[in-house]
Amino acid sequence: MASKLDDMKAQLAALSAERDLLDTAIEEMIASMAEVPAEQRKTGDWSPNGAMTKKYLDLTNRQSEVEADIVDLGRAIMDSDEPASSLH
């Protein structure tokens, strides 16, 4: 039977993988936006209410949530009753 610590480690790994995917998607979106002339960003998909801007904001909001969850889970793992040597 898996311990609570094992479950937390698995969740941490999943969150870390999600963070990596989010980081990559955000970097790709920034690169894509940089290719659009500034004048076109005022009215196109990259405008303040454009589809790409909304997607970017959704990704960065999720990134913030994942980062907070990683911090909380990391603290929970460190505070667990199991010996520190079992964390590796």
pTM of the predicted model as reported, rounded to 2 decimal places: 0.82
In three-state secondary structure terms, 64 is helix
How many domains, the chain?
1
Q: What is the mean pLDDT of residues 58-85?
A: 88
Residue 87 lies in a domain: no
Rounded (5°) CA angle 14-67-52: 95
**Which residue range is the domain that position 19 belongs to?**
4-82
Q: What is the spatial distance between Cα 4 and Cα 68, in angstroms, rounded to a whole number?
A: 20
Q: With contact defined as beta carbons under 8 Å apart, do 63 and 23 qualify?
A: yes
55's CB contacts (< 8 A; 6+ apart) are 29
Q: What percent of the chain has pLDDT over 90?
A: 73
